[in-house]
Amino acid sequence: MVFEFPILSPRRPFERAPDLRALFVRDTDADVAAILGVASPSSLFKEPCMNVEFINPPTLSTGGFSQVVSISGGGRTLYISGQVAYDPKGNVIGNTLEEQSELCFENLRLALAAAGAEFKHIVKITVFLRDMSTARVKAFRAIRAKHFGDHKPAATIVGAPALVDDALQVEIEAVAVLP
């Protein structure tokens, strides 16, 4: 493995200084592996190890979500913008909370897929509902459960007096972590 650091001339900062290769550090992969205390050079390039833990302390109420999500190790984090009941042309689809929620989850699925992710990679969702009545919240939770199944990311539902379009009733944003 070769580590080369460009050295710039102080008089001409945008030109390289004369050849100073003797100053460059040259190590083999095996030397780097030994320095880092790993078994072999190939172990330097394995996929990062990541652990995702969903925690529900018995002292807190639980539902269709997890109270805490702990992520350790490597991985790639996705922040998915709020998904609403828009078709690809920006038209609102659906008149009921249930219809719009289904399209929000479909749009969320499409956004995740574009980044190589699935619902199982979601660790947190935030939902904005125009109507926070108990019946509406229960209806939304039933739809959420249909899409997530046994996977229960951390979740927040917020009452929103307005969304980006007066015809919209729900918006869902998410955070996903991939190994």
Strand pairing category for 25-26 and 2-3: antiparallel
CB 49 within 8 Å of CB 23: no
Superfamily of domain 50-178: RutC-like (3.30.1330.40)
Between residues 51 and 120, the one the model is more confident about: 120
Please give the DSSP secondary-structure letter assigned to residue 179.
Answer: -
Instruction: Give the pLDDT score at 25.
Output: 46
Tell me which of 67-71, 76-80, 120-124, 143-147 is least confident.
Answer: 67-71
What is the SS3 assignment for 104? helix
Instruction: Give the pLDDT score at 61.
Output: 77
3-state SS record for 14-69:
CCECCCCHHHCEECCHHHHHHHHCCCCHHHHHCCCCEEEEEECCCCCCCCCCECEE
Q: What is the pLDDT of residues 74-86, one digit of tens each?
A: 788 999 999 999 9
Cα 57 to the center of its chain, rounded Å: 24
Mean pLDDT of the chain: 81
For the chain, percent helix, then strand, then coil, each to nearest 5? 30, 30, 40
Q: Tell me the percentage of the chain whose pLDDT exceeds 70.
A: 73
Asked whether residue 133 carries a pLDDT value surpassing 80, the answer given is yes
Residue 72's pLDDT band (cuts 50, 70, 90): confident
Instruction: Give the pLDDT score at 38.
Output: 53
Q: Where are the domains of the chain?
A: 2-45, 50-178
Unique residue bearing structure tokens 């460009």: 6
User: Per DSSP, which regions of 109-178 are E strands?
Assistant: 122-129, 154-159, 170-178
CA distances from 67 to 57, 76, 144 (A): 8, 22, 16
Q: What is the pLDDT of residues 12-55, one digit of tens each?
A: 444 444 444 444 444 555 555 555 555 555 544 455 577 888 88
Instruction: Give the pLDDT score at 48.
Output: 57
Strand pairing category for 154-159 and 170-178: unpaired
Instruction: Give the pLDDT score at 62.
Output: 77
